[in-house]
Amino acid sequence: MATQTVYNFNPGPAALPREVMETAAAEFVDYRGLGYGLAEASHRSKEFEEVIHAAEANIRSLMGIPEDYAVLFLQGGASLQFAMVPMNLALPGKPMLYADTGSWSNLAIKEAKLFGDVKLIYDGKASNYSVIGDVAEWPIDADASYAYVCSNNTIEGTEYRSFPDTGSVPLIADMSSDIMSYPVDVRRFAMIFAGAQKNLGPAGVTIAVMRKDLAARAGAKVPTMLKYSTHIDKESLFNTPPCIAIYMVRLVTDWLIKLGGLPAIQKINEAKSDALYSAIDASEFYRGTAEPADRSRMNVTYRLPNEDLEATFCSEAKKAGLVGLKGHRAVGGIRASIYNAMPMAGVSRLIDFMDDFESRHR
């Protein structure tokens, strides 16, 4: 394996493990001696069946998913889940509870309002979404359809450290940008979903882990493709799935298992984010934007003294082989996305670059 010259801090689609990229490249034209590629194979072939079953088995074993939960491979991105969740799971006359912790929960709330009453259990707007705060204080209406959270706020750089206790109200989480970055107790959630392109693979597939009984809530008017029950009954093969994206999720989850699973990747992720936040906190030049207690381990957001310096920072970083550091256009600043596939060596290189940049521009 050649030494890595460029480290990719893109927020999504994001870096994949180098090893996975090499395996996928080696297998692309001739899949494991088949004589043609998986991209050319039927989704009903035994080769692809093996792939989708292995991907599901990997996800089940990594996350410890109980038997009464389905693992689905869906399309339409995490964004389609913003609509599918309320379309399938809102109960007549029962409000949907949403925590507004940033841009992605905002978009989910907008869709939910099409299907019924939304009650905010948290509104982070006043803090510019820099704070999540004490989830134990959030008002959970026991008569609600469900409660919804976005576990990692990719754009604002905050992440839940604990989740509200919603009792018998099903808890649903958009984990697009921190799924499988640390162990979670799946039983605490009725549903977890994630677009693959941050932590699990390329764009094109969305993973949904859900309690099967919930699917029965959907009314008769929900279109076939948008009904969870369709995909549960057909084991994600109702229509042609994104075969190559699922294949790569399989490779990424193989890689995670080999690494030691979620406890092992959690340690690595904590070491990376601790190192980067320590560098930010040790300097007067860099300023973190999220409340320290709620800082994301996946998306580290910070500012420099002014926007001109931020632009210079990004262009010089790029020349030094550190790409994708520009903050989201909605918030500006710098964002280092350090998902599972970012090695410690990439974070160390960024910290060295930051020290050097500061010494030259302070």
Ligand X SMILES: *Cc1c(COP(=O)(O)O)cnc(C)c1O
- Beta carbons of 85 and 228 less than 8 angstroms apart: no
Give me the least distance between CB of 306 and ligand X, in Å please.
28
Give me the least distance between CB of 300 and ligand X, in Å please.
14
9 belongs to the binding site for ligand X (CB under 6 A) = no
Residue with the shortest CB distance to ligand X: 77
Give me the least distance between CB of 190 and ligand X, in Å please.
18
Site for ligand X in 219-238 (CB under 6 A): none
Separation of alpha carbons 251 and 18, rounded Å: 11
174 is catalytic: yes
337 belongs to the binding site for ligand X (CB under 6 A) = no
Query: Closest CB to ligand X among 37 and 332?
Result: 332
Among 111, 156, 174, 294, binds ligand X (CB under 6 A): 174
Which one of 109-117, 136-144, 174-182, 277-285 is the stretch in contact with ligand X (CB under 6 A)? 174-182
Give me the least distance between CB of 177 and ligand X, in Å please.
4
154 belongs to the binding site for ligand X (CB under 6 A) = yes
Separation of alpha carbons 249 and 266, rounded Å: 19
150 belongs to the binding site for ligand X (CB under 6 A) = yes
Catalytic residue among 198, 227, 272, 326: 198
- Beta carbons of 203 and 13 less than 8 angstroms apart: yes
- Beta carbons of 250 and 51 less than 8 angstroms apart: yes
Separation of alpha carbons 51 and 221, rounded Å: 33
267 is catalytic: no
Residue 209 DSSP SS3 = strand
Site for ligand X in 13-52 (CB under 6 A): none
Cα dihedral 48→49→52→56 (10° resolution): -160
77 belongs to the binding site for ligand X (CB under 6 A) = yes
- Beta carbons of 325 and 315 less than 8 angstroms apart: no
- Hey, what long-range contacts does 216-221 have (CB within 8 A, 24 or more apart)? 217/88, 217/89, 217/90, 217/91, 218/87, 218/88, 218/89
* Binding positions for ligand X, rule: CB under 6 A: 12, 77-79, 104, 150, 154, 174, 176-177, 195, 198
Q: Active-site residue numbers?
A: 104, 174, 198
